[in-house]
Chain A
Amino acid sequence: MNYVFQVQDFSLAYGEKEILHHINLTIAEHAVTAFIGPSGCGKSSLLRAFNRLNDLIPDAKESGTILYHDHPIEQENPLELRSQVGMLFQAPSPFPMSIYDNVAYGPRCAGKKRSKELDQLVQESLEEAALWDEVKDRLKKSALALSGGQQQRLCLARALAMKPEVLLMDEPTSALDPLATEKIEELVLSLKANYTIVIVTHNMEQAARISDYTAFLYLGDLAEFDTTEKLFKEPANPKTEAYLSGRFG
């Protein structure tokens, strides 16, 4: 088994407050890994560590390491790392520009200028995000006119346009209706063939439906990490069992 990320004894603090304590886990290639747990358990903070988005928080302090293909990520150039590790946020956040410009944003930042190349990249990305047919006639129109579900798929296409290796998803469906959610879940399952996906979710059924591995975080500790099948059927930690059966959360 190939691991894209190896988290080794990783701790994270915001100022005086430690959010994550000595986490150890691995992210397997071409698989979906889900992080679940009650609010405030640190699952989103752990996700943001993978593309070093925690750098934006002025008083965040990290210890331990995360290896990206055996290289510590703190030694990587964050701009290069982020072009390898795409991210999808909780609230769809298309930029206030045209659909085309949204998808082309990342490649343009990376220096791709030739319009032919960009045209093709935009089309491929939108097709991969199952949005092409809905927007192909209005690529030059504002992205803000799209529905919530379409906006989230546009954000996915925008991330895919960078040809990343990994996709991080931070509760990508919590702002969407059930139909739009289903569409995103289908996409996750189909994208798994080419991408490594890490998803944070509040929705345990969602984790059970789409993930191969699940990590259950509780109060900043990794309470349990296993294949989704095993974790849901025979949880080893009584806390996991209590959470899964809805006794707290």
Chain B
Amino acid sequence: MGKSNSNAQRLFKIRRVKDGFRKGVTWLSAICALALLAAIFFNIAQGGASLLSWDLLTSDYASATYTYQSGATSAAYADPLLTGASYSSSWGIAFEDETSFTGESVVTIVYLAPASPIGKLDGQVKVGSYFTKAFLTDQSGTTIIALARDGASGVKDSFEKGKTLSSFSITTKGGGIRGSLLSTLLVIGVSLLLSLPLGIGAAVYFAYFAPQKSKIVKILERMIDVTSGIPSIVFGLIGVAVFIPLARLFTGVNTGSLLSGCFTLVIILLPTIVKTSEEALDEVPKDYRKASLALGGSERQTLHKIILPTALPGLLSAAVLAAGRIIGESAALVFAIGNVIGDTISLSGKNATLAVEIWSLLAGENPNYRLASAIAFIILIVISLLSLSAKLLTRVFLEKRGHA
């Protein structure tokens, strides 16, 4: 009795050690995974945080230089007492040294006195524009040239010396991502609009109406599985070969366009949408269909009133998954749309999406990591917003159906 008891204790000890080891491994891998995710997030946030601003989201990528002729003379304007800025009280304008979104050092106009003659030149001359150059003349009639490369204080000094302003040039703030952001949203909208009905329709067919034992159906399903594993660059090729000519029928444009990009994305997304929707539909209890038909409902009524609404949360997550894929897709779109960063938002235009813009920014000779990180951060935010809105939609829908 005593011997077997000690044996049991020994076994118990061994088991405890083994269990402890297993637990340790589980914890370790969980912590590693979390730490990795946190590190990625932190890295992106840190790299791009300094650029993140409403301005970045709403301003154009392209910058333009405007030159205005003037004959204004200096006067005296009250100092707004800005810290860090160089203020010229005789012209009522303050400058500051900054780094632009595209990484160049610039002199930004940070203040314009309400009565300043410079502010009245044109709407483009405003707080936030970059100062380029100005020609002034001093009391003796000598020409003074103020240049952005003199820095904010140098420019201010030149202005203080000048009595008459003959010309003034500014450059609009470039490097904004309004164009890419809106193009991305447009591509998401159009691609989902085209692919969701197709994909969900196919899923409904496979889940409910396809003859289950048919060889052709099985081959089709297998083909869908295979398609979801094809690298997207291959679809980029198809985009160039098939969808650019196809999109030309609608846009009349010979090169890649947002529309040809959307067509390409539809093909990329379809397998995923069909599979996830089929899973969502499979989760609807089979009893619902039987019960609905037994109540005299038709197959169509059953589908629209019971099955699709019940599967809605799953279908929405399929949509969010697809939207995430669209935002992240770059390889195929470099070919199907192009990598021109611009500000036109049109289906026939060829504006890069956010992910392609990152690719474009890093592929050049002077990779712009800061702007790329900022865009990456914005992509993360857009994806979070999308999945959040899907959750909210689901909740609103469930509440409407009486579920608390």
Contact = CB atoms under 8 A, between A and B. Distances in A.
Contacts of B301: 109
Contact of B295 (A56, A58, A96, A106): A106
Interface in A87-126: 87, 89, 91, 93, 95-99, 101, 105-106, 108-110
Contacts of B290: 53, 56, 89, 93
Interface string B284-313: 010111111111111001000110011000
B295 A82 contact: yes
A243 B163 CA distance: 117
Contacts of A101: 401-402
A91 B290 CA distance: 12
B212 interface: yes
Contacts of B294: 51, 53, 82, 86-87, 89, 159
A242 interface: no
Interface string A185-221: 0000000000000000000000000000000000000
B404 interface: yes
A144 B309 CA distance: 15
B189 interface: no
B80 interface: no
A93 B291 contact: yes
Given A105-B305, A109-B305, A155-B291, A96 B310 contact: yes
Contact of B297 (A58, A93, A96, A106): A106
Give the size range of B's interface with the partner.
20 to 34
A155 B288 CA distance: 11
Contacts of A143: 402
A80 interface: yes
B215 interface: no
Interface in A54-90: 56, 58, 79-80, 82-83, 86-87, 89
Nearest to A79: B296
A162 interface: yes
A95 B297 contact: no
Given A58-B212, A141-B402, A93 B298 contact: no
Interface centre among A91, A96, A99, A145 (most CB of B within 10 A): A96
Given A89-B294, A93-B290, A140-B402, 20 more contacts: A53-B290, A53-B293, A56-B289, A56-B293, A58-B211, A79-B296, A83-B296, A89-B291, A93-B287, A95-B292, A96-B403, A97-B402, A98-B402, A101-B402, A106-B295, A109-B292, A142-B403, A145-B404, A159-B294, A162-B295
